[in-house]
Amino acid sequence: MENAERLFEEYREHLKSEVVRLVSYMKLYRHINEKRTDRLAEMNIAPSFFQVTLDALFSAIVLWVDKLLGKRSERGFINYLSFVENNIGIFAISELKRRKNYPDGHWMLNRKAITYQTVVKHRKQIAALESLPHFSFRRDKFHAHFDKDYFFDRSKLGNDAPIKWSDLAAVIEVMDEILNHYSAAYDGNVYHLEPLNICDIDHLLEILHQYKENQKR
């Protein structure tokens, strides 16, 4: 039991770090794209920087989604759920009570116990992500390896494996639910997965905007 607890805490911490990394990539990627609506002229002062940044972020998103949620990953949410299933005893409500020294009747103990059906439900949530095959396809055909068809015709990727903004949001929602569900059951800890400082780039674009406005005077 003690070894399983130590391993879970280590697994949770590393998984949380990678989830925050991916969420940061996704949120920054979307934010920069959205800033094009009112700060495109400012971005065009350094177009290569912003385009390379967007390309790098998208490539990282594809790779990290596949690493965290793909079936082939040796670590990630599929394995995380297997760990929970194999060590389900550490998530018992009585173990939460012991770890936190909660008194009888504490509100944190008023929760459903983790069961095998809980794990099955979360596996189904991952499988229900319609975009997962598209992320995996893009990884295999372009971002991790070059497939000859897609190497010579980049537009085919967008047609054969489209990725929408709603797909990124759905991935974040599932990761948040699974990571925090077992974390809360284990010791009551819930992680806020919103990255910090995504809007820092706005300050830079505002400086460029003011510079361009001053040049007009």
Q: Which pLDDT belongs to residue 61?
A: 98
The pTM for the full model equals 0.91
CA 46 vs CA 39, 65, 177: distances in Å: 12, 29, 39
Task: Return the number of other C-beta atoms located less than 10 Å from residue 182's C-beta.
Answer: 23
Question: Cβ atoms within 10 A of the Cβ of 98, count?
Answer: 10
Shortest CA distance to 205 belongs to which of 23, 21, 24, 34? 34
Note the Cα 35 to chain centre separation in Å: 22
**What's the whole-number average pLDDT of the chain?**
92
CA distances from 80 to 83, 122, 143, 183, 207 (A): 5, 11, 25, 11, 44
Per-residue model confidence (pLDDT) at position 121: 98
Q: Hunting for tokens 């998208």 — which residue is that?
A: 58
Any idea which residue has 């690493």 for tokens? 67
Mean pLDDT split into 10-residue runs, the chain, 217 residues: 90 96 96 92 88 96 96 92 96 92 88 94 97 96 91 90 96 97 94 84 85 74
Q: Which amino acid is at 66?
A: D
CB 174 within 8 A of CB 126: yes
Handedness of CA 23, 24, 25, 28 (dihedral sign): positive
pLDDT digits (tens, 9 = 90+) for 80-103: 999 999 999 999 999 999 998 988
Buried b (16+ CB within 10 A) or exposed e, 133-159: ebbbbbbebbbeeeeeebeeeeeebee
Angle between helices 77-86 and 165-187 (to 10 degrees): 20
Classify 12 in phi/psi space as left (phi over 0), alpha (psi -120 to 50) or beta.
Answer: alpha
> For residues 34 and 50, what is the distance between their CA atoms, to the nearest angstrom?
12
